[in-house]
Amino acid sequence: MSDKTPFSVRSRVAQAMGRVEPTTRAIVPPIHVATTYERDPDNSYSSGYVYGRPDNATVRDAEAIVAALEEAGAGALLYGSGMAAATSVFRALEPGDHVVAPKVMYWALRAWLLGDARRAGLEVELVDTENLDALAAAMRPGRTRLVWVESPANPLWGVTDIAGAAEIAHRAGARLAVDSTCASPYHTRPLTLGADIVMHAATKILNGHSDVVAGALAGREPDAFWERLVAMRKSGGAILGPFEAYLLTRGLRTFHLRAAAQAASAMALAQRLSAHPHVARVLYPGLPDHPGHALAARQMENGFGYMLSIRVAGGEAAAVATAARVRLWTRATSLGGVESLVEHRASIEGPDTPCPPDLLRLSVGIEDAEDLHRDLDEALRAAHAG
């Protein structure tokens, strides 16, 4: 290998983009907690840092990793939560703008769109984005400014054709933003498929340890809309804190290893649970009978992700009883961590949810896959035994 041959993103991320602290030569990036910085004698800031609300060196380190993972030409922005990142994209629009989002998507963002976003003057339309004909029919050229998709979509794991959605959005003069939290850049890089912005709830698999709440945006091009997002975060103070950014960087350094292990275990569980006598259906894009499998096989790489859902035979009561009987799985909200979680999602989302009442959402961690299967198997059998 030549000295000039570039190293892979995986190698650079493992070393936090090769950053060595210049003063001490430490190989772990430091935490910069200062909120203000000294001016030069001529009253300028030669360091490039002015104040902690718009900028921070530890945050920049984590942003560089996210940008590299997503191949983001505009870079990345970190926020205090995934919701802060996602809603910033919509807040950057103008009152009266028409936006299109999926019928099945992350429930908290869906509720915000149908509530706060509409009250702020956005015209929000929910469509089946997995159906490109339906998506195209929803476009209003000159008025539609943003198309938001999620793929795979939580918690039913439908798959949207990102390249096709980008073409439809751009033809109508709109931008495409993709919530790729559950695919992660290990499996899908939406910007390379034509999307303009990708969003991650970095709380999830990017951090991977259930100890940080964070959100991220990555942009394909540094256009006027991206610069508006940069300016809004600067003025609004939604930046991630330095300690959280440090923890996120620490988690990102093992991202590739975790994502590979979690996807492999998710696939193994999906295959085995498909044959379980007390499972009516498994929802996972990696299974050949999944409606979006062929598209997922083209659009995703290195597997099909760490999330799946099962519909428990016997209905809601059996599903809740199954979750109550697990020992290794943890009953908790969230996803993407090293620990495996199970959740009866309809109970969380309430009466308007599109989620079936017999569904359990599974976030697969890094435990032994055989142990995870045995624990679910025992819980399912015990629930059905009464």
List phi, psi (to 5°) of 85.
-65, -50
Residue listed under structure tokens 């926020």: 79
In words, the CATH class of domain 9-252 is alpha beta
CA distance 249 to 31: 11
pLDDT tens digits, residue range 292-329?
999 999 999 999 999 999 999 999 999 999 999 999 99
**How high is the pLDDT of residue 2?**
54
- Paired sense of beta strands 330-331 and 75-79, if any: unpaired
Which residues lie across from 219 on neighbouring strands?
75, 197
- Intra-chain end-to-end CA distance of the chain, in Å: 63
Query: Model pTM?
Result: 0.95
pLDDT number for residue 1: 43
- Judge whether 9-252 and 255-385 match in fold: no
User: Contact at 8 Å (CB) between 77 and 225?
Assistant: no
Catalytic residue numbers read: 53, 106, 179, 204
With a cut of 50, list the residues of the chain below it in pLDDT.
Answer: 1
CATH superfamily of the 255-385 domain: Aspartate Aminotransferase, domain 1 (3.90.1150.10)
Name residues whose C-beta falls within 8 Å of residue 234's C-beta, 6 or more positions apart in sequence: 53, 54, 55
Q: What residues does each domain of the chain span? A: 9-252, 255-385
Extract the tokens encoding 315.
């209905």
